Structure 1
Amino acid sequence: MSEQSLYERLGGAYAISGAVDVLIDRLHVNQTLNNMNQGVKDFHVEPYKAGYKFMVTAWSIEVTGGPKCYIGRDMFEAHKNLGLSEYEFDVTAHEIRNTLYSVGVPPAETNEFMDIIESYRGMVVGKAA
C-alpha cells in the first residue's frame, strides 16, 4: 500500500476548506497585517472574502497532493504588487501554523504543510512591482 498524500492525511477537501475558513477569518482581522500594508488591507475586505477562501482552499488542496483545482495565478504574480516584507510573511505563517493547531492537525502534517509555505517565501516576499 502506498503512503497517503498530505492531502489525504489532512482529511481531504472538507477538512482543508474548514481550516481555510478559520484561517481567512483570522487573517482578515489580523491588525499587524492590515495596518502594515495598504495592499493587504485593501484585499482583506468582506466582498473578497469568499473568493479568497475558495482560492486558498483550491491552492492548498493542490499543493498537498489533492486534485488539480487551483485556477489562480502563480504565487509570484498573485503577490508581486503587495510588496510583502519578511515580517509580514512570518506573521502570515504564524497565523497558518496557529490555525492548523487550532483545528487539530497533527504535528507531522503541520510541519509538512509549513515546509510547503516556507518554500514559497521567495515568490511572495519582495518589493512591489
Structure 2
Amino acid sequence: MAEKSLYERLGGEPALTAVVEDFVGRTAANPKVNFFRKGTDMEWKPSGEQVAMLKKHLVTFIAEATGGPKAYKGRDMKSSHAGMKITNAEFDALASDLAASLDKFKVPAKEKGELMAIAASTRGAIVEK
C-alpha cells in the first residue's frame, strides 16, 4: 500500500492554511526575518489584500511541493525575491519561525522534517547576501 502524500499527511489545504496564517504573522513580527525589508531598496508596506495574496500563494506553493492537487502559478522563488538582499541569517530566522508554527500545530516529526527540507531547498533561490 502506497504511503499518502505529504500534503495528505499534513492535513491538506485546511491544515496548510492554518500553518501559513500563523507563520506569516510570526515572521512579520520577527525583526530577525525583516519581513518588510526595512532598510533595503525593496521595503514593503503591504495592504491587507497583498498579505492575503501572499498567504494564498504560500498555501498553493506548499500544496504543490508536498504532492497536493493544486498547481502553483506564481513567480519562481528567485525572481520573487530578487533584490530583497535576504541573508542566510534572515532565512534561518524564517525557517525557525516555520518550525515553530509546525510545532504549534503538533505536526509529527517525520512530516515536519520533510516540509523543512522542502523549505531548505529554496535557500539558493532566495538568499542573495
TM-score by length of 2: 0.89
Size of the aligned set, in residue pairs, is 127
In the alignment, is the contact (CA less than 8 A) between 1:64 and 1:113 conserved in 2? yes
Please name the residue that 2:7 is paired with: 7
Cα deviations by residue, 1:25-79 (Å, 9 ceiling, x for unpaired) = 1112112223893257515664421111101001010000101331211111111
Checking the alignment, whether the CA contact within 8 Å between 2:28 and 2:36 is kept in structure 1 is: no
Corresponding residue number in structure 2 for 1:102 = 104
Structure 1 Cα separation of the partners of residues 35 and 69 of structure 2: 36
Moved more, 74-83 or 88-97: 74-83
Q: Which has the higher helix share?
A: 1
- Unaligned runs of 5+ residues in structure 1 are none
- Give runs of aligned pairs for residues 15-94 of structure 1, distance below 5 A: 15-34=15-34, 37-38=37-38, 42=44, 46-94=48-96
Tell whether the 8 Å contact from 1:28 to 1:44 is kept in structure 2 after alignment: no
CA contact (8 A) 1:33 1:41 kept: no
Percent identical among aligned pairs is 35
Q: What SS does the corresponding residue of 1:8 show, helix, strand or coil?
A: helix
Aligned residue in 2 for 1:123: 125
Sort the Cα spacing of 1:72 and 1:87 in 2 relative to 1 into closer, same or farther, 3 A.
same
CA distance in 2, matches of 1:75, 1:89: 13
Question: Over aligned residues, Cα RMSD in angstroms?
Answer: 2.0
Tell me the secondary structure at the aligned position of residue 34 of structure 1: coil
The two structures have a TM-score, normalised by structure 1, of: 0.89
